[in-house]
Structure 1
Amino acid sequence: MHTTTHTTGNLRHELFGAGLLPVDGDGEPCADQRTANWFRAVRTGFHEQPYTAPEVARLAASYQVDGRVLLGVYDDDAPAPSLDAAIPVATFAEFRKTLNTGAGNLVESHLITVVTVRPSHRRRGILRRMMTDSLERARAAGLPIAALTASEGTIYGRFGFGPATVLDSVRVDVKGGLPVQAPAEGQVVSVDPASLKELAPALFERFHATHRGSIGRQDAYTLRATGRVGPDAVKDDPTLRAAVHLDAAGEPQGFLTYAFAGWDTSPVTMKIRDLVAATGTARRELWRYLGAHDLVERIDYGAAAPDDPLPWSLDDPRRVTVTEREDLLWLRIIDVPAALRAREYAADGRLRLRVLDPLGYAEGTYELAVEGGVASVDVVDEAGTPADLELDIALLGSLYLGGTGVRTLVEAGRIQAASAEALARAERVLDLAGAPYAINGF
């Protein structure tokens, strides 16, 4: 992409794509200096050691596959002995992937990631400018929804983002095996992780198409599945193992990547890196396979659904312990009518919603009518009939995928319902069965 530059005071904001220098002969790929400086600022912002030049090059190539747009904010007037002015004082990135909004609807969405601001430049409005400019770009492109994953829970609500999905970290006791009650179906085979280059993305696309809340995957997940990126470094991971579930016809239905945590763990532990199943059977059989490893006493997994069926698969559900629950996907509705039309609904009905938006993008009163599971949305005169529900745009993001119920937010004092009847009607129309399930960070 072409570089776009604008200034705010003495700060320069520059949008650009990750860049790689031309490679001659047997030379190694190398990122351009601007890209290398941007990654250095990112690593500093997340309190990590700088990437090596080969790591930056591998990441830059992956970012190009995703079509990521990078933003660096530069202080050209920083006093000596500040860091080189070519190293950004703030970073930001955006790209597009689809969001499964239910009933098989995949909606192109605006993803925001890698947000950092140097401590010396806090409280100068940098984050607000980066975020509002990004949301403006999304709106101009006609994208109805923005999404991010939040490292802190108090930052993004003011920009209209609300937590929409959660994940459980679980520990599974596999001492003596993992007694799955259902008979085995198909078979699970060990594979070289490198063989997953085409299969892993294809199986994820099948998962993505059938799971409300799923967000499209970036190229880094293929690199991880194939062992080209490890958990702690952007280099080949020789510890990675992989397996694939084949159905009775020999067709792949799911894959698993995992690694041994070491003999010094107590109990002896295997860690799941990724588990993608296109069917419930494949998921169950991959767990059965994990439980068949000799000498291993525990399996750790950090991306279980809140309503994961695994405990019900076992002779003793107490073998599964939830150790942590945390939000993953945060949503920001930019275009309320377009987003509501794209959503899944469990029942027909009508609702009038009064939406408050501190940034002004989605402020208004909307008449939602669902008939035959299909929604129509009209913008209505605010002086007309009072709204059934009044809510902040961030809470609409939390309700959107059905991960939170209407009554929960009303009883929390976060949403105002006009009457008990309006609340009951809103529950019928907006609440959805089952938890949304997103397994990707970004």
Structure 2
Amino acid sequence: MSTTPPQQPCETSHSARGNTYTLRRFTVGEGGPEQNPEAVQWNRAVSQGFHDGEPTAEATERALASMRAAGTRLRSVYTADPVPPAALGAERPVATFCSWDSQLTLGEGRSVPAWLISEVTVRPTHARRGLLRRLMTDDLTEAHRAGFPLAALTASEATIYGRFGFGAATFNAEVTVDAHTRLNLKAPAVGSVEMADNAAVARLAPEIFARFHERTAGSLTRTKKWWDLISGEWNWHKAAPEPDVRTAVHYDGAGEPDGYVSYRFLPTQGYQGTLEVVDLVGVTPQSRIGLWEYLCNLDLVTEVRYKAAQIEDPLMWGMVDMSAYTVRKRYEQVWLRVLDPVAALTARPYTSHRRVTLSIVDSMGFADGIYVIDTTGARTRVERTGDRPRTEEDRQGKSLPVVELPDGADAALNVDSLGSLYLGAVKASTLHDAGLLRVRDATALRDVQALMSTPTEPYCISPF
């Protein structure tokens, strides 16, 4: 699988509604902002698109260094038409997009390469001109040609990406735990916790996260900028240091570090206040519960807030009073896009022995076709056996809200639904009840459900 970017920027053109645009694909070169003016303008456009402040010199330096270290592929769209007086200059992109390489954990010691997409913006005055579709098509085509089985993103607006074949694949919960009476557990917490030096935790965190990532289905590898965030050295959202961030480390029974937490105190009344978790990583659920006990038992703390809890959280079930655990919001974290069903489905572990024929509908063409998944032998076998029958909607390149079930197929679904099914975030029967999965009969539905079910729910704590 080749991931080597072109040595020189790539440039193409795009026309829509009488407007002409230039599209460029490039990477951050050596040196600072002066040597990378195009990347500087790209970064300014991203901040503008997400309503952030104008990047400072330090924020720009850090952003460029982070993208260079990650091997980020940047895409920009520029207007090629004359710019009216006082409008943003032609050097500022009207649309941005980027991607980089990662690994997605699948469980049972397995992982698969993942192409991560982020910083997608289109200036409102240039919307509905096909710019996002063009950027997405170009980027996914590059990923497919490079041999990536999957692409992934996190979405600020959930309605955007289904039409490009992305399906919600992992979910998190934003929770609050009442700490007025401290944390009382049904079973005693294991190990011990100590307050820690932030800089030391930043050095220790990558190794602890790597152990968490290796054993947690749905987890994605992190880039270097995470360790600046958890130490308070630099918050890339606020573009500033956070000296109020504190850290603690959890140690197992042998005294080895196996978890850490980064948090800040938010005064609400007098000396009392709320703890907001910045990052909480434990190699095991028990180490995470131990860190929660530490947070809830700190003096002057009335509640602890965390934005990335598991949907089925062992902490809640371990509490004597689970009513002290409040779910404020449930949201989708990672969206997956299957680019190569043979590679993606072969890499995935299975706990059931079945043979199923799937018809996959993909309006962009990458995954479209009839596939057989056979786990009845010693090794999983996935094979593309042919094209599926085409409809008028297919020929027009439209997504199909209701898919047809071809003769000989056990089940049929759109590629976005396959992305949701891939890690076990949803049951096949739930998709069927929602009208998103067509099956031959009840036996076929049971086979698909048994085949795609997973022992644990997928969990990702790394937005990007």
Identity of counterpart residues, as a percentage? Answer: 39
| Cα distance between partner residues in 2 of 1:339 and 1:397 | 10
* Deviation at residue 438 of structure 1 after TM alignment: 0.7
Q: Is the 8 A contact 1:98 1:109 kept in 2?
A: yes
Distance 1:397 1:266, change over 3 A: farther
Residues 358-377 of structure 1: pairs in structure 2 closer than 5 A: 358-371=363-376, 374-377=379-382
Correspondence 1:14-413 to 2 at 5 A: 14-19=24-29, 21=31, 32-81=36-85, 82-230=87-235, 232-264=237-269, 268-371=273-376, 374-381=379-386, 382=388, 386-413=408-435
Question: How many angstroms apart in 2 are the aligned matches of 1:354 and 1:189?
Answer: 53
Q: Which moved more, 1:297-306 or 1:7-16?
A: 7-16
Contact kept in structure 2, 1:356 and 1:364, CA below 8 Å: yes
Aligned equivalents of 2:457 and 2:213: distance in 1?
14
State the one-letter code of the partner of 1:42.
V
Q: Residue 313 of structure 1: CA displacement?
A: 1.5
Q: In 1, Cα distance between the equivalents of 2:366 and 2:189?
A: 52
Write the letter of the residue equivalent to 2:152.
Answer: A
How far the C-alpha of 1:112 sits from its partner, in A, is 0.5
Paired amino acid for 1:50: E
Q: What amino acid is the match of 2:53?
A: Q
Q: Residue 416 of structure 1 corresponds to which residue in structure 2? A: 438
User: What's the TM-score, normalizing by structure 2?
Assistant: 0.90
Which whole-Å deviations, capped at 9, do the CAs of 1:221-260 have from their partners, x for residues lacking one? 1111222222742232101000001112211100100000
Amino acid in the other structure paired with 2:172: L
Structure 1: gaps (5+ residues):
23-28
The CA deviation at 1:265 is 9.1
- Aligned-pair distance for 1:426? 1.1
- The CA RMSD over aligned residues, in Å, is 1.8
Q: Does structure 2 retain, via aligned residues, the 8 Å contact 1:15–1:70?
A: yes
Structure 1 residue 181: Cα displacement: 2.6
Q: Residue 159 of structure 1: CA displacement? A: 0.6
8 A contact 2:47–2:55 mirrored in 1: yes
Determine whether 1:4 maps to 2:26.
Answer: no
- Report the residue type matching 2:414 in the other structure: D
Q: Which whole-Å CA distance do the structure 1 matches of 2:331 and 2:261 have between them?
A: 22
Query: 282-291 vs 228-237, which deviates more?
Result: 228-237
Distance 1:231 1:33, change over 3 A: closer
Alpha-carbon distance, 1:343 to partner = 0.9
Once the 2 structures are TM-superposed, how far is the Cα of residue 306 of structure 1 from its aligned partner? 0.5
For 2:171, give the aligned amino acid.
Answer: V
Partner-residue secondary structure (3-state), 2:107 = coil
The whole-number CA distance in structure 1 between the counterparts of 2:262 and 2:378 is: 38
Equivalent position amino acid for 1:64 in 2: R
Query: 2: CA distance between counterparts of 1:52 and 1:59?
Result: 10
Q: Please give the alpha-carbon distance, in whole angstroms, between the structure 1 residues aligned to 2:35 and 2:244.
A: 27
Within 2, Cα distance between the matches of 1:231 and 1:292? 30
Separation of aligned partners in 1, 2:260 and 2:95: 38
1:21 deviates by 3.4
Three-state SS of the structure 2 residue aligned to 1:416 is strand
Unaligned runs of 5+ in 2: 1-6, 390-405
Distance in 2 (alpha carbons) for counterparts of 1:377 and 1:38: 41
Q: Is the 8 A contact 1:58 1:234 kept in 2?
A: no
